[in-house]
Structure 1
């Protein structure tokens, strides 16, 4: 498991806990990701605010050669499909759930397994705190879907991600292994 301050197999790349000093670099990386991948679908006009989801529990950054190139977070559950599904299916209490969120890696960080390492950091947080990690992924984001499924995440079902002025994007809901 990748832990805070631990390098991945590329010694110049690592994942660590996010600090306040990382926010400007995270905003820039997010804008770069949006330009290439259209993530997040909400856009990046309020990028800094987006990096702080309601109920933020912890956040991590990925860096290569000291430059922040990726991000992930865990947050408290809210009323969202990925949370409702395990609650309804097997009665998982809300305080035993956390939501993986805001995971992205900019182009200059790709190819270093940092998406996987960021996901491992979030999943590890869940294990350490006795929480099942759930999340959704837009169906358009096939690279992320392949990563999560290779990691053993289980698809719980489908939902519609709503944003902006009545805009909708189909999404899959997952639970981490």
Structure 2
């Protein structure tokens, strides 16, 4: 049975392994996975969720504080959005074992519902190559604000689209 629940500290080992697998299959995250646990627990994390399949952790999403100099945050503020009531949706992935069950959509919807409950807007970026993630956000009614080049931290940049959960 598939489900989404709050992330627990005990989930991090399985999530790290799933993230390494996702990186091998999809090239996500583009920054690489030298330290998957650190990537899954960035500074400013507000809340995180996992997707499970028959009690095995197969997916992840999180909400983190909005900071200036994040391309999606800057685009949102330039359009009139308020950084004080904005969060960044991030670290969304589903391992191959969990795909085909709409877990990515369920994780994104859980994040969106959580933000609405807390009267927060969500922004984020999606690499242009990640067409499945783009389809999820657009199916949920998120709005593309533009494009940017995402710094991989390894001396390269990749094209990304900037999204917001609503129009400002």
What TM-score results when the alignment is normalised by the length of structure 2? 0.95
Secondary structure of the residue aligned to 1:130 is coil
Alignment-derived partner of residue 165 in structure 1: 154
CA distance in 2, matches of 1:176, 1:119: 10
Q: CA deviation at 1:125?
A: 1.6
Is the CA contact 2:108–2:136 (under 8 Å) kept in the aligned structure 1? no
Alignment-derived partner of residue 41 in structure 1: 30
CA distance in 2, matches of 1:55, 1:95: 14
Structure 1 portions without partners, runs of 5+: 1-11
List aligned pairs for 1:32-111, cutoff 5 A: 32-78=21-67, 79-90=69-80, 92-111=81-100
The alignment covers a number of residue pairs equal to 165
Alignment-derived partner of residue 152 in structure 1: 141
Alignment-derived partner of residue 4 in structure 1: none
Q: CA deviation at 1:129?
A: 1.2
CA distance in 1, matches of 2:62, 2:3: 16
What TM-score results when the alignment is normalised by the length of structure 1? 0.90
Segment of structure 1 superposing worse, 146-155 or 62-71? 146-155
CA deviations over 1:103-132 (Å, ceiling 9, x no partner): 000000001110001001111121111110
Q: CA deviation at 1:37?
A: 0.2
CA deviations over 1:62-86 (Å, ceiling 9, x no partner): 0000000000000001221111112
Structure 2 portions without partners, runs of 5+: none
Alignment-derived partner of residue 6 in structure 1: none
CA distance in 1, matches of 2:35, 2:19: 11
